[in-house]
Structure 1
Amino acid sequence: MSTTDTPTPIALVTGGSRGLGRNTALALAAKGNDVILTYRSRSTEAEAVVAEIAALGRRAVALPLDVADAGSFEVFATQVRQALAAHWQRERFDSLVNNAGIGIHASFADTTEQQFDELVNIQFKGPFFLTQKLLPLLRDGGRIVNISSGLARFALPGYSAYAAMKGAMEVLTRYQAKELGARGIAVNIVAPGAIETDFGGGAVRDNAQLNAFVASQTALGRVGVPDDIGGVIALLLAPENRWINAQRIEASGGMFL
Structure 2
Amino acid sequence: MSGSNYSAVTEKPGDRVTREALAMVYTRYRFALDYCRGKRVLEVACGEGVGLEYLARQADQVVGGDLTWDLLVRARRSGTLRRSLVQLDADALPFHAASQDVILCYEAVYYFERPLQMLQDCRRVLAPNGLLILCSVNPEWSDFNPSPQSRQYLSAGRLASLAEAAGFRTELLGAFSTESPGPKATMVSWLKRTAVALHLIPSTMRGKRLLKRLFLGELVSFPSAVEDGLAPYCPPVSIDSRRPVTDYKVLFALCRPR
Q: TM-score, normalised by structure 2?
A: 0.49
Q: Between Structure 1 and Structure 2, which shows a larger proportion of helix residues? A: 1
Higher relative contact order (CA 8 A, sep 6+): 2
